[in-house]
Amino acid sequence: MAGWTGRMLRVDLSAGTVRVEELCPHDLRDFVGARGLGSKLLYDAGAYAVDPLAPENPLIFATGPLTGTYAPSAGRYNVVCRSPLTGAIAASNSGGYWGPELKFAGFDLIFITGKAPSPVYLWVHDGGAEIRPADGIWGKTVSETEDTVRAQTHPDAKVACIGPAGERLVRIACVVNDKSRAAGRSGVGAVMGSKNLKAIAVRGTQGVRVADREGFRAARQRAMQKILTHPVTSGGLPTYGTAVLVNVINAHGAFPTRNFQTGVFPEADRISGETLAREYLVRKKACFACSMACGRPTAIPSGPFKGSGEGPEYEAAWALGADCGVWDLAAVTAANWQCNEMGIDPISYGATLACAMELFQRGYLTREQAGRELRWGDGQLLVEGVRMTAYREGIGNLLAEGSYRLASEFGHPELSMTTKKQEYPAYEPRAVQGIGLTYATSNRGACHVRGYTISAEVLGVPEKLDPLVPDNKAFWAKAFQDATALVDSSGLCLFVTFAIGVPEIADLLAAATGEGYTAESALLAGERIWNLERMFNLKAGFTRADDTLAPRLLSEPMPEGPAKGQVSRLDLMLPEYYRLRGWDEEGRPTDETLARLGLKW
Amino acid sequence: MARKMLVVHPEKCTACRLCELACTFHQEGEFHPLKARLTVGIFPEENVYVPIVCEQCEVAACQEACPSGAIWRNAVTGALEVDVSRCVGCRMCVMACPFGTMVHVESGGKMQKCDLCQGDPQCVAVCPWGALEYAEPNEAALARRREVARRLAEVLRGVKV
């Protein structure tokens, strides 16, 4: 077998057993790997019917067929499970070095069920794995955990772990690998914590093979030619990181500010990638096999937030910055480091704190209830709140539940900026119509990396669309969603798609696996994966009513900026989207659609 | 004319490890960092990334230590290469090499090392940032002195004499 290793580890933490199993070749071909393959196994396990925090919920770490090769930015893996934040399917994507190391250890995927009687970590090496006690490690922060586990295993071991947040079942906890890369969204860290699983250390001593060496070399060459010359992938991302977007998005009036009360943040430049590069950036850093090097090792030399770490990137800079009204980049940066250490998703954390701040602003949440004032722009609160959330201290215990549960607790769920209980990322649906449709229909709840129409609507890739009109956005949402499902399942980083498209990716997949992928069949695999995720959610009880946006975005006109007076026209886009998807009016894939995609079992 | 060598610029490295991958894909036909002829030392806390390559030493410990005379110098590239037919797999070269760049490849217990890809080093070709360069050492040193001079000139520009 080439590309794939064809093997998985099945771990039952209740029984304390580890077994090596072969993966089904049809599943590999049809669902590609990583997000797609993980979702297929999750679906087959019937996880839509289990409590996300119960031992029965599988926690899947999955790589793609390109992971571990020198295909462009091919260092990704996905953590797949049923989400404790949304109840929907979760597939969270991370870079760094951990995913490739799993391939070098001889596995495409680890499938974990059960709950260890006491804290453990998993040590994967040389074609096998052992479950080890983590008594002295439980309670440690992410970097402490990684250092300790590495000292107990191998100096070159790569570690994915949870911080204090995952241990305490914080619903916005993430899994962190290589200290600062995260499978960030949907609370996958809480699922890991619910299993008493603190970390997975991996060391590989094997190689990854491809089916057609010359074809693979040539396909990579063609793709790299584009990546190394495109202004975004060769200029913007390496120089300023993803936060190069801050000023661009703000100029479009699409930079959500103070819990989406407006789309313009006058202080945006103070938290931009340009400012970060000038003030705190140490140097640029890449994930495995990546030429873009958007990683941001940062250091603050003095002042109350003195220290060092990684980030923030764009979404975190926004959530911790504009969404909370904070323009002190030192506070934003330090809060991001804390999120890394505690193992918390900075998007959901920032957005949940922003929701609390608006509840406070409107008097729905009082000083007495919160234990302190929750003022817009309070950098000290922003940084301290991360720790409080991870340890569930004071107001942190409510922030730990995410903004929907927080806002509901105080009787105002409409102030939660979420879809399917997951917090919106850093783009305003009233100012960029298409992205609103992708938030509403994303299978893992609100998300920007399930169909990044910003690429077309703002950046003009592959072609420039008017962000303010809903026309034709259903077509683009579907196209981006299907292509992204393919990218996420292949093991590539989504950012390569600024420069290359499905044809280049299909060529890489075909040469790596020998499975004869074409642009058409590869894109069809993406669509298949999307529909499988949809089927999972339908079985989990989601309906058309859940494909919506926060009421503010649908009914309160944008107060200022280029999108002044606009609301999201989801009402126009959604029916067209269902039709293009081959779904009925209730958003269910029709029999014909399922048959066309090979999903009729 | 001096021979070209691998010149490392650690300050340009981003720790992506593409060099390790291109190396083994070319040499071994698979992606296998453990068999790579070079390795990026990554120290995240210090933000230091250093590719460690074979220096093709003038007085080469690997060659001196080899009891079977299996390590010879390619007159064209200047690279020290392993004559696999002579290598007895004793790993004396591993013990002797101060850089740790002798690699054990599984086929028959024989050793391998960087042969500069016969004059077209793939690690250099794949590096997106020019952190690895195939250049004459004096030219590379001169280029670095020029770069330092340029930075110094920037400082001096603001100084009144």
**ipTM score assigned to the predicted complex:** 0.96
CATH of A244-423, one of 3.40.50.300, 1.10.569.10, 1.10.10.60, 3.40.50.2300: 1.10.569.10
Give the per-residue pLDDT at B140.
Answer: 85
Give the per-residue pLDDT at B1.
Answer: 59
- The CB density around residue B99, as the number of other CB atoms within 10 Å, is 15
Comparing A12-16, A270-274, A399-403, B136-140, which segment has the lowest mean pLDDT? B136-140
Given a cut of 80, whether residue A213 has pLDDT beyond it is: yes
Name the β-bridge partners of B111: B104
Q: Which of A259, A255, A284 is nearest to A267 (CA)?
A: A255
CB contact under 8 A, B31 and A208: yes
Q: Which of A204, A207, A293 sits opposite B16 (nearest CB)?
A: A293
Q: What is the pLDDT of residues B49-77, one digit of tens each?
A: 999 999 999 999 999 999 999 999 999 99
* Mean pLDDT score of chain B: 93
Q: Residue A296 — pLDDT band, cuts 50, 70, 90?
A: very high
Q: Counting one residue from A and one from B, how many pairs have CB atoms under 8 Å apart? A: 69
Per CB distance under 8 Å, which residues of A are interface residues toward B?
Answer: 68-70, 97, 104, 178-180, 204-210, 213, 217, 228, 282-291, 293, 295, 297, 308
Give the per-residue pLDDT at B157.
Answer: 87
Given a cut of 80, whether residue B107 has pLDDT beyond it is: no
- The CB density around residue A299, as the number of other CB atoms within 10 Å, is 14
Give pTM, 2 decimals. Answer: 0.97
Give the per-residue pLDDT at A341.
Answer: 98
Q: Which of A285, A279, A373 is nearest to A334 (CA)?
A: A279
B118 at the A interface (CB within 8 A)? no
B25 at the A interface (CB within 8 A)? yes
Q: What's the half-sphere exposure (Cβ side, CA atoms, 13 Å) at A224?
A: 19
Give the per-residue pLDDT at A355.
Answer: 98
Domains, chain B, ranges and CATH? Answer: 5-157 (3.30.70.20)
CB contact under 8 A, A291 and B18: yes
Q: What is the pLDDT of residues B71-102, one digit of tens each?
A: 999 999 999 999 999 999 999 999 999 999 99
Tokens representing A298 are: 């940062």
- The CB density around residue A303, as the number of other CB atoms within 10 Å, is 11
Given a cut of 90, whether residue A176 has pLDDT beyond it is: yes
User: What is the distance between the alpha carbons of residues A570 and A397, in angstroms, rounded to a whole number?
Assistant: 34
Give the per-residue pLDDT at B161.
Answer: 65
- The CB density around residue A20, as the number of other CB atoms within 10 Å, is 13
B30 at the A interface (CB within 8 A)? yes
Question: Which chain B residue's Cα is nearest to A285?
Answer: B14
CB contact under 8 A, B18 and A284: no
Q: Residue A601 — pLDDT band, cuts 50, 70, 90?
A: confident
According to CATH, the topology of domain A7-203 is Aldehyde Ferredoxin Oxidoreductase;  A, domain 1 (3.60.9)
Give the per-residue pLDDT at B159.
Answer: 79
User: What is the distance between the alpha carbons of residues A272 and A468, in angstroms, rounded to a whole number?
Assistant: 24
Q: What is the pLDDT of residues B120-136, one digit of tens each?
A: 999 999 999 999 999 99
Question: Which chain A residue's Cα is nearest to B32?
Answer: A207
Instruction: Give backbone dihedrals phi and psi of A452, rounded to 5 degrees, phi first.
Output: -85, 70
CB A263 within 8 A of CB A360: no
Q: Residue A557 — pLDDT band, cuts 50, 70, 90?
A: very high
Instruction: Give backbone dihedrals phi and psi of A316, rounded to 5 degrees, phi first.
Output: -70, -40
Given a cut of 80, whether residue B2 has pLDDT beyond it is: no
User: What is the distance between the alpha carbons of residues A322 and A271, in angstroms, rounded to a whole number?
Assistant: 8
Q: How far, rounded to the nearest angstrom, does the alpha carbon of residue A324 sit from its chain's CA centroid? A: 21
* CATH no. for A433-498+518-596: 1.10.599.10
Given a cut of 70, whether residue A400 has pLDDT beyond it is: yes
DSSP states of B106-157: SGGG-EE---GGGG--HHHHH-TT--EEEE-HHHHHHHHHHHHHHHHHHHHH
For A377, counting Cβ atoms within 10 Å of its Cβ (0-12 exposed, 13-18 middle, 19+ buried), the class is middle
In A, which residues are within 8 Å of B128 by CB distance? 228, 291, 293
Percent of chain A with pLDDT over 70: 100
CB contact under 8 A, B18 and A289: yes
Helix-, strand-, coil-residue percentages of chain A, each rounded to 5 = 45, 15, 40
Given a cut of 90, whether residue A259 has pLDDT beyond it is: yes
User: What is the distance between the alpha carbons of residues A346 and A531, in angstroms, rounded to a whole number?
Assistant: 29
* Secondary structure (H, E, C), A174-219: CEEECCCEEECCCCHHHHHHHCCEEEEEEECCCCECCCCHHHHHHH
CB A185 within 8 A of CB A447: yes
* Mean pLDDT score of chain A: 98
- The CB density around residue A222, as the number of other CB atoms within 10 Å, is 13
Given a cut of 80, whether residue A39 has pLDDT beyond it is: yes
CB A452 within 8 A of CB A418: no
Which DSSP category does A97 fall into?
T
User: B86-94: which pairs have CB atoms within 8 A and are 24 or more residues apart?
Assistant: B87/B111, B92/B65, B92/B66, B92/B67, B93/B61, B93/B62, B93/B63, B93/B65, B93/B66
Given a cut of 90, whether residue A437 has pLDDT beyond it is: yes
B64: left (phi over 0), alpha (psi -120 to 50) or beta: alpha
Question: Which chain B residue's Cα is nearest to A95?
Answer: B16
C-alpha gyration radius of chain A: 22
3-class DSSP assignment, residue A135? coil
Amino acid, res. A406:
L
Task: State mean pLDDT over A85-95.
Answer: 98
CA distances (Å), A26 to each of A6, A29, A123, A520, in order? 11, 5, 29, 18
Q: Residue A388 — pLDDT band, cuts 50, 70, 90?
A: very high
CB A210 within 8 A of CB A70: no
Tokens representing A256 are: 């959500």
**Which part of chain A has CATH 1.10.569.10?**
244-423
**Which part of chain A has CATH 1.10.599.10?**
433-498+518-596
Give the per-residue pLDDT at B3.
Answer: 87
CB contact under 8 A, A179 and B47: no
CA distances (Å), A164 to each of A198, A201, A385, A395, A407, in order? 10, 18, 14, 16, 24
Task: State mean pLDDT over A458-470.
Answer: 96
User: What is the distance between the alpha carbons of residues A197 and A199, in angstroms, rounded to a whole number?
Assistant: 6
In A, which residues are within 8 Å of B13 by CB distance? none
B50 at the A interface (CB within 8 A)? no
For A588, counting Cβ atoms within 10 Å of its Cβ (0-12 exposed, 13-18 middle, 19+ buried), the class is middle
Give the per-residue pLDDT at B76.
Answer: 95
User: What is the distance between the alpha carbons of residues B34 and A156, in angstroms, rounded to a whole number?
Assistant: 11
Burial A429-465 (b: 16+ CB within 10 A, else e): bbbbbbbbbbbbbbbbbbbbbbbbbbbbbbbebeeeb
Beta strands in A390-438 (DSSP E): 418-419, 422-423
**Token pair 């009687």 in the structure block, residue:** A117
In B, which residues are within 8 Å of A204 by CB distance? 34
Q: Select from B25, B28, B129 the residue whose CB has the most chain A CBs within 10 Å, as the one to mutate to test that interface.
A: B25
Which DSSP category does B82 fall into?
E
CB A66 within 8 A of CB A492: yes
Q: Which of B10, B4, B46 is nearest to B131 (CA)?
A: B10
**Which part of chain A has CATH 3.60.9.10?**
7-203
